[in-house]
Chains A and B, each alone.
Chain A
Amino acid sequence: MYSKTVMDHFKNPRNVGEMKDADGVGEVGNPICGDMMTIYIKVKDDYIDDISFLTFGCGAAIAVSSILTEMAKGKTIGEAQKINNKSVAAALEGLPKNKLHCSNLGADALQLAIRDYQDRKAGIVREGPKRSDKHEHHHGDACYCPYCDMEAEEDSPVCVNCGRELDEAH
């Protein structure tokens, strides 16, 4: 089901753990399938000097977090801001379509961590990390069946391809 790169990052995840003296923290929670990601960054001279993650989620979610930390480490803030969920999935040599829904939130958490860092620099103080419960359940205009990867018809209670029930939120 998963590519070699995904399995490598899942089995040997890079940069795992809480960072107590982080300059920015971003947290993303997904209410539908329960994935949660926290990204911590340490910034030095506008560079991401150190980065780590904590993730609750499936194998894909863990691999996403791991490769994301490798992609962002050593980059300038401006470069890191260009990392998005699509480029993370590409670096993992692709993810199953249903995993694009729920597991591929790492870049969102990174962008929140960067904004948290910028806010702190601007003197905005908040309790806890910058977090978002926002969950994009769409890829552009189309929506995909989580079971068979086929495009799902809008408003249909079941997938016309595999016949399985679709979530109301699809």
Chain B
Amino acid sequence: MSILNLDHLAANPLLPEVQEAMIEAIKMNYGNPSSQHQLGDEAAAALQQAREQVAGLINSPVLKEVVFTSSGTESVNHAVKGVAFANAEKGKHIVTSNIEHNAILRTLRALKMMDYKVTSVPVDEYGLINPSDVADAIREDTILVTIMHSNNEIGTIQPIEEIGRITQEKKVIFHCDAVDSVGVVPIDVQKLGVNLLSFAANQFYGPSGVGGLYIRRGTRIWPLLDGGVQENNKRAGTENLIGIIGMGVAAEFATREMDFRIKHTRKLKQKLTEGLQSRIKNIFINGHPELSLPNLVSVSVQYIEGEGIVLMLDEENIAVSTRSACAAGALQASHVLLSIGRDFADAQGTLVITFGRDTTESDIERFLEVLEEVVQTLRNMSPLYLKAMQEKAEGVALS
């Protein structure tokens, strides 16, 4: 039986058209885009085409503003460290939020060791940031605000446009980590008012190993990698042309299919959310009910731990992800779930279900059926469940 992939966030399948384009690119035996001979010209043209396709996806008006990188992680590192280093004389203060991805958290941790100061704004129970908190956190020496577009664990989409207006007014550079949004929901860098925006090809059915960083003209930033003059002097190193060509094709399809993909995944999300609520008692659906990614559902199942659920679903050939601390190798519960007010035990029983254009309604149906059984099996082993049921019975007896 084939594996039902409900962990698209970890591994999106490549689009067949992307596969074909990349295989074709390998066969073309392209030269180096920086060379001045014909081999170089062909490669440069292919690179240019991919840049146009990617710029179209984020509505970047100037092609030079799109820089290819090796991953979303590199883009984030480039944006944050590049701005921090280039503007150190102006100040060393950075504003971020409590629910950022590790790529941001650990980049900021590294900067803290170099005497940068970080202010982190809180989120509400839905994982939403209040833009006025960001405004209040900006000081005289603030050089960067970095806020994610959507959260990879709960899907909540932040009011980036409003924050963009604040940073423009206060003349602070604004970076948006949009890795989980670009190619999934419409992103318009002009409308958002960002200086920098990070994204990755594997989130929209392109290859892993290719990312992008939008850098608005006039943004004071240093390269992360020093060397040659590639990528308009923004990112040295010979381009990963095959990957970039794959990203370009994936971007073009994402632009073209955007409406269909949103409609399709939104329908699945509704079915899944309703199915969870009707079939399984004592659960929380995490994230904002409307302002969230259409392709992600986060659910905390009370009284049991996530790793057990994932292992049992895997036995049934269903792949989902957990945010429980133990399965991820960490001993701490997810900072995102604790930030939105889940307690430790509930955070432990959290699944992140992500799906896409290839997922069907019957896939969701099958998942719900298997999950219901797995949850009951694990709850029957759980002392927390027994206690909760006993308390409930006592409550009924008392009333």
User: Chain B nearest CB: distance from A143 CB in Å?
Assistant: 12
A37 within 8 A of partner (CB): yes
Query: Are B381 and A16 interface neighbours, CB within 8 A?
Result: yes
A32 within 8 A of partner (CB): yes
Give 1 or 0 for each of A25-57: 1 = CB within 8 Å of chain B CB.
001000011111110000000000000011111
Q: Given A11-B315, A34-B348, do A57 and B384 touch, yes or no (CB 8 Å)?
A: no
A146 within 8 A of partner (CB): yes
Among the stretches A81-89, A95-103, A113-121, the one at the interface with B is A95-103
User: Chain A nearest CB: distance from B58 CB in Å?
Assistant: 31
A82 to B171, CA, bound (A): 68
B256 within 8 A of partner (CB): no
Residues of A close to B308: CB separation below 8 A: 10, 57-59, 62
Query: Are B327 and A146 interface neighbours, CB within 8 A?
Result: no
Contact of B332 (CB < 8 Å), options: A35, A62, A167? A167
Query: Are A10 and B311 interface neighbours, CB within 8 A?
Result: yes
Residues of B close to A70: CB separation below 8 A: none
Residues of B close to A56: CB separation below 8 A: 303-305, 345, 382-385
Query: Are B305 and A34 interface neighbours, CB within 8 A?
Result: yes
User: Chain A nearest CB: distance from B101 CB in Å?
Assistant: 14
A99 to B328, CA, bound (A): 12
B380 within 8 A of partner (CB): yes
Residues of A close to B383: CB separation below 8 A: 27, 36-38, 54-56
Chain B: interface residue count, which band? Answer: 20 to 34
User: Chain B nearest CB: distance from A55 CB in Å?
Assistant: 6
Residues of A close to B7: CB separation below 8 A: none
Query: Are A36 and B384 interface neighbours, CB within 8 A?
Result: yes
User: Chain A nearest CB: distance from B144 CB in Å?
Assistant: 22
Q: Given A33-B325, A57-B326, do A98 and B386 touch, yes or no (CB 8 Å)?
A: no
Query: Are B331 and A54 interface neighbours, CB within 8 A?
Result: no
Residues of A close to B311: CB separation below 8 A: 7, 10, 59
Query: Are A54 and B329 interface neighbours, CB within 8 A?
Result: no
User: Chain B nearest CB: distance from A146 CB in Å?
Assistant: 5
Residues of B close to A102: CB separation below 8 A: 326, 331
Query: Are B381 and A62 interface neighbours, CB within 8 A?
Result: yes
A145 to B95, CA, bound (A): 30
A60 to B327, CA, bound (A): 10
A165 within 8 A of partner (CB): yes
| Interface residues contributed by chain A, number (CB under 8 Å) | 35
Query: Are B305 and A147 interface neighbours, CB within 8 A?
Result: no
Taking CB atoms and an 8 Å cut-off, the chain B residues in 345-399 that contact chain A are 345, 348, 380-386
Taking CB atoms and an 8 Å cut-off, the chain A residues in 136-150 that contact chain B are 146-147
Residue among A10, A38, A55 with most chain B CB within 10 A = A55
Residues of B close to A36: CB separation below 8 A: 383-384
Query: Are A147 and B326 interface neighbours, CB within 8 A?
Result: no
Residues of B close to A55: CB separation below 8 A: 381-383
A121 to B385, CA, bound (A): 30
Nearest residue (CB) in B for A158 is B109
Give 1 or 0 for each of A125-166: 1 = CB within 8 Å of chain B CB.
000000000000000000000110000000000000001010
User: Chain B nearest CB: distance from A31 CB in Å?
Assistant: 8
B307 within 8 A of partner (CB): yes
Q: Given A59-B308, A167-B331, do A33 and B381 touch, yes or no (CB 8 Å)?
A: no
Residue among B381, B382, B386 with most chain A CB within 10 A = B381
Residue among A32, A33, A34, A165 with most chain B CB within 10 A = A34
B344 within 8 A of partner (CB): yes
Q: Given A10-B311, A34-B305, A62-B308, do A147 and B380 touch, yes or no (CB 8 Å)?
A: no
Residues of B close to A60: CB separation below 8 A: 326
11 contacts between A and B (CB under 8 A): A7-B311, A10-B311, A11-B315, A27-B383, A32-B331, A34-B345, A34-B348, A37-B383, A59-B311, A60-B326, A147-B329
A sample of 10 more A-B contacts (CB under 8 A), given A56-B345, A57-B305, is A10-B308, A16-B381, A27-B383, A33-B325, A58-B326, A58-B327, A60-B326, A98-B331, A147-B329, A147-B330
Give me the interface of A with B, judged by CB distance under 8 Å: 7, 10-11, 13, 16-18, 27, 32-38, 53-62, 98-99, 101-103, 146-147, 163, 165, 167
